[in-house]
Amino acid sequence: MTERPPLVVKIGGGLLRTEGLDGLRRACAEAIELARDRPVLVVPGGGPFADAVRAVDAQVDLADDVAHALALRAMDQLGTLLAPLLPSAEPLMRLVVPRSLALVLAAQAFGGRPEVPQSWAVTSDSLAVLAAGAIGAEEAILLKPVAGVVARSNDAPVRALTAGELEALQDAGGGRAVDPYLPEAIRRTCVTVIVRAPGGIGTRIVPA
């Protein structure tokens, strides 16, 4: 039987913010289940740890490279919370195909990569997609405390979008469930992205 291509799963820090450790546990359980029949690379979000970096940046106007480095370390702080919830996960310092289930060490895996823009427009959403492109994954799942991408607040999630449609939606003030760079990250990598809550259906975003 042909081995299925690897999959990237981003576990968003927003789950910690809105649901506490229970949200992270549900997401980790899903990542473990997905890794039963294909290699899965878990990318941690930043959540409240990244919020703290944003607050410092707003106060003292950090240099872009400093803010970027601190934001990557914020992802590693969430990763520290995820590690005991993913007991079988191998810690990875590089963007390579995992043997089974692996957890990215963000500061080492993404630091010093010139192809990664140093901007708040690029969060762990886009980093997960760039990681998927780097390891040859066809899909990235972004697990967040949202039902999917919406055009306006209180709208039902849009079930399918192209990267261009997402970009137009964001230009019009919608699509705030994901970061502004995501359409470009999808076009760069040709990775399909699914934005959803653990166990949900969500929004599927394709390159074109």
Residue type, position 70, single letter: L
Token pair recorded at residue 21? 């450790």
Residue type, position 37, single letter: D
**In sequence order, what are the residues at sequence separation of 6 or more whose Cβ sits closer than 8 angstroms to the Cβ of residue 153?**
none
CB 185 within 8 A of CB 207: no
The CB density around residue 150, as the number of other CB atoms within 10 Å, is 18
pLDDT (0 to 100) of residue 190: 98
Token pair recorded at residue 63? 């240099």
pLDDT (0 to 100) of residue 1: 37
Domain boundaries, the chain: 7-206
pLDDT (0 to 100) of residue 139: 98
Please give the Cα distance from 60 to 129 (Å, whole number): 30
Strands of the 160-162 sheet, one edge to the other = 90-92, 101-104, 40-44, 7-11, 139-143, 192-196, 203-206, 160-162
Q: What is the CATH number of domain 7-206?
A: 3.40.1160.10
The pTM score is 0.96
Regions of the chain where pLDDT drops below 70: 1-2
pLDDT in tens, 39-53: 999 999 999 999 999
pLDDT (0 to 100) of residue 108: 96
pLDDT (0 to 100) of residue 202: 97
pLDDT (0 to 100) of residue 3: 76
